């Protein structure tokens, strides 16, 4: 029973990406200075802010003291750190280059954090606008319109179509808001369950890739993640088949995950990697297949992949900037349109009544 509860607790542990970056950087420096792994872990643990990370480091330190390798100790927390993290440490231990591998890993995690932050920041302003718009609508529906409804209905005059639409919508929301809220909650639950089904997840991720603007961001983001991870693994002396397979487990898009697993089978048959990517040009840009072809023929595949990673990260950055410049005015127009519609619907009948009184 205790073992089961321990596994449950471990499953829910989470570590911020920023702390992973600092951990790998500090451990690399301490390993390079010939400090033992146990001493390094104990020293780093004192500086860690996250309670979950301290719990993990306690377990890892205990396992290493009992004779386990560092990668094996972290393997039980693979769901927290990911395939790349564990694989890079294992390769470093096997080749005697743990310090260098940790330094590479720290650098790549930092770049991954920056890339993720750029994508997220692009959606912060639109979300704020949407929340503000919803707040305005809710305030009007529940506090302003109920008072005006009684006034308009008591005047026995024909109301403009916009006013009638507004009053009917307001009345519907007021009478059935519990059912609407329940429907939204059930939809979110159903969606979260459906998206876990492999076929549904694959179909949704494929649709996302071909959406305007968002699809471009998704493709470039996945290309950056794929090439950086694969390049780092190859630079750490992992064999191409294992590197591609590990990279497929790192990617969050099911379309690219499936494509890389199929690439593994082709590479196992002796086929060059670029051929499969070339045949699937709808999801792999020609630049990627061409640079990988050059890399495979010249023996500089890892360098070419890391170059591609930098290139696609810059592409994501530019696209995100353009997205912000497009979304911000569009959302402001949307919010202005909603508020304007409500204002016209309220003012028009009042103006008509005042004209009639004159």
Residue with tokens 């297949």: 289
Instruction: Give the separation between CA 21 and CA 173, rounded to whole angstroms.
Output: 48
Instruction: Give the separation between CA 177 and CA 350, rounded to whole angstroms.
Output: 28
What fold is seen in the domain 98-358? Receptor-associated Protein (1.20.81)
Instruction: Give the separation between CA 22 and CA 47, rounded to whole angstroms.
Output: 10
95 CB-near residues (< 8 Å, 6+ apart): 101, 236, 237
Predicted local distance difference test score (pLDDT) of residue 128: 81
CA atoms within a 13 Å half-sphere pointing along the CA-CB vector of 184: 5
Predicted local distance difference test score (pLDDT) of residue 7: 46
Predicted local distance difference test score (pLDDT) of residue 4: 39
User: Which parts of the chain have pLDDT scores under 70?
Assistant: 1-12, 152-157, 324, 351-358
- Give the count of beta carbons closer than 10 Å to the beta carbon of residue 250: 21
Domain positions in the chain are 2-76, 98-358
> Terminus-to-terminus CA distance in the chain, angstroms?
83
282 CB-near residues (< 8 Å, 6+ apart): none
Predicted local distance difference test score (pLDDT) of residue 354: 65
Instruction: Give the separation between CA 15 and CA 161, rounded to whole angstroms.
Output: 55
Three-state secondary structure call for residue 272: coil
Contact between 262 and 351 under an 8 Å Cβ cutoff? The reply is: no
Among residues 349, 317, 342, the alpha carbon closest in space to that of 145 is found at 342
Q: At what angle do helices 286-298 and 301-357 cross, to 10 degrees?
A: 170
Alpha helices in the chain (DSSP H): 2-11, 17-32, 37-47, 51-65, 70-75, 78-95, 98-139, 145-154, 161-194, 198-209, 214-235, 240-250, 254-268, 273-279, 286-298, 301-357
Instruction: Give the separation between CA 260 and CA 249, rounded to whole angstroms.
Output: 9
């Amino acid at each position: 029973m205790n073992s089961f509860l321990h596994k449950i607790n471990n499953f829910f542990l989470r570590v911020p990406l920023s702390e992973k970056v600092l951990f790998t950087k500090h451990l690399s420096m301490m390993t390079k200075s010939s400090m033992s792994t146990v001493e390094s872990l104990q020293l780093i643990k004192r500086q860690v802010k996250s309670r979950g990370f301290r719990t993990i480091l306690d377990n890892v330190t205990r396992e290493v003291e009992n004779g386990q390798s560092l990668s094996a100790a972290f393997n039980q927390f693979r769901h927290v750190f990911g395939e790349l993290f564990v694989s890079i440490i294992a390769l470093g231990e096997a080749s005697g280059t743990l310090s260098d591998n940790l330094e590479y890993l720290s650098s790549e995690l930092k770049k991954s954090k920056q890339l993720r932050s750029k994508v997220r920041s692009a959606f912060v302003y639109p979300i704020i606008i949407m929340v503000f718009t919803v707040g305005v609508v809710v305030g009007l529906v529940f506090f302003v319109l109920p008072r005006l409804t009684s006034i308009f209905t008591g005047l026995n005059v024909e109301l403009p179509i916009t006013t009638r639409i507004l009053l009917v919508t307001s009345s519907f929301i007021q009478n059935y808001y519990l059912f609407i809220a329940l429907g939204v909650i059930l939809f979110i639950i159903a969606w979260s369950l459906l998206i876990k089904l492999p076929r549904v997840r694959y179909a949704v991720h494929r649709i996302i890739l071909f959406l305007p603007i968002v699809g471009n961001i998704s493709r470039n983001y996945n290309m950056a993640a794929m090439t950086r991870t694969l390049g780092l693994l190859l630079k750490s002396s992992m064999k191409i088949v294992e590197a591609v397979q590990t990279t497929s487990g790192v990617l969050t898009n099911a379309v690219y995950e499936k494509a890389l697993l199929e690439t593994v089978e082709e590479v196992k048959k002796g086929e060059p990697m670029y051929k499969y990517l070339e045949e699937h040009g709808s999801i792999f840009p020609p630049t990627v297949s061409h640079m990988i072809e050059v890399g495979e023929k010249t023996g500089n595949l890892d360098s070419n992949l890391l170059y591609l990673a930098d290139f696609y990260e810059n592409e994501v950055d530019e696209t995100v900037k353009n997205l912000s410049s497009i979304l911000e005015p569009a959302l402001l127009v949307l919010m202005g349109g909603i508020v304007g519609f409500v204002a016209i619907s309220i003012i028009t009948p009042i103006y008509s009544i005042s004209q009639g009184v004159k």
